[in-house]
Structure 1
Amino acid sequence: MISEQSWADAQLLWDFHQMHHELRPCSVALGLGSHDLGVAETTAELYKRGMMPLIVFTGATSATTREQMPRGEAVHYRERALELGVPSSAVLVEPKARNTGENISFSKALLEEAGAEVSSVLLVSKPYEERRAYATASKLWPGVEIVSASTPMAFDDYVESIGSVQLVVDMLVGALQRLLLYPEQGFTTRQVVPVPVAEAYARLCGEGFTSRLVADDS
């Protein structure tokens, strides 16, 4: 069970993590690997809407995806996109990245090697990873326009799809902590965190939603 206050606090974090960008055509889309095949499905839908001519799916495997996606996140994403009608000629696979920074830097290198001209990137991620992905891409890929996207979904619907409110709130808290820590470590650009969001984050930490936190060595 979760208290009404914690639910409201989690909703604040959910809303903050999304960039609320207006979608527009871009040079390429990056589908960031994870356990969520919905990222591949949303990327495929955006391709069919004419939002980009080329897709890069990026991601190796992790402890949470090894059984579900044994051939690697990017490979499974590509397979799902092809099932949905995306032509194989429109998809590149980057199979080595193990974190968001590598997703961006390895995809950038792959596109340069392919001779693709990139002035804008449609960055497709899980809903609660939009802002961190944006902050990472802004740091590692300066000079290109970044447009963030994810599967349109309400917070309560996402919780239902995952099946664990504890896990979802833990992930929201972990993503917020990284937005606070990573600029100092040179991983991301700094994002302004509104006071109500910071206070909600602190309350959720106090309530024990901490399984996705990383050690703060600063």
Structure 2
Amino acid sequence: FTAYPEKPIRFIGEVAEITVLPPSFAQEIRNDNRLSFTNWTFKMFHGHLSGFEPFKVATDGHDLVQTVATKDLTKHLNTITEPLAEETDLTLKELFTDSTGNPIDWHSIPMKDMILHLIARISSRVFLGTELCRDETWLRVTQNYTVLAFGNNPKRLSSPHTNMARCSCPLRDRSLCSPYRTRNRSTPGYTFIAKGWLARH
């Protein structure tokens, strides 16, 4: 946009050709459903296929993801900032220091894997609490699902169904959440949606 600030630009993205409009178009297109990001995500990542259901959540008509991201998280920032800082500090110490908390001598690190682990852990801390966010099996499942879901996006494959099984494998580990769902649902006044969790924590 430096040379032509008021003109759209087109480029080849990872999964499709993308057109980026200048900021001045924001108000004009904000309510145009033809340019819905959530609908694009559902279509691009095939939310109707087994194993890709999370890409359907944002387009199921309930606006749960949008509400949590734009309203509930913002409203409860004062209650989640400290836990996030605490978990980030603890995770970084575990990833980048030795067992005593002292810096390790200079060495190569798999930065991509470490960042993925950090994101999985702090996001789990916000939405699932301390117990699950430090469960190595749960963290492995969430990290693997993220990698497989984006890596097996059918738009990037010559045969959409060849790798569907790989993307469905992590879903077999849903049993990890069963004890937490059962316990939470039996709690008086518990509201089984994300914003309910935020309101209670």
Larger radius of gyration: 2
Higher RCO (CA < 8 A, seq sep 6+): 1
* Band of TM-score, shorter chain: under 0.3
What is the TM-score of this pair, normalised by structure 1? 0.24
Q: Which has the higher helix share?
A: 2
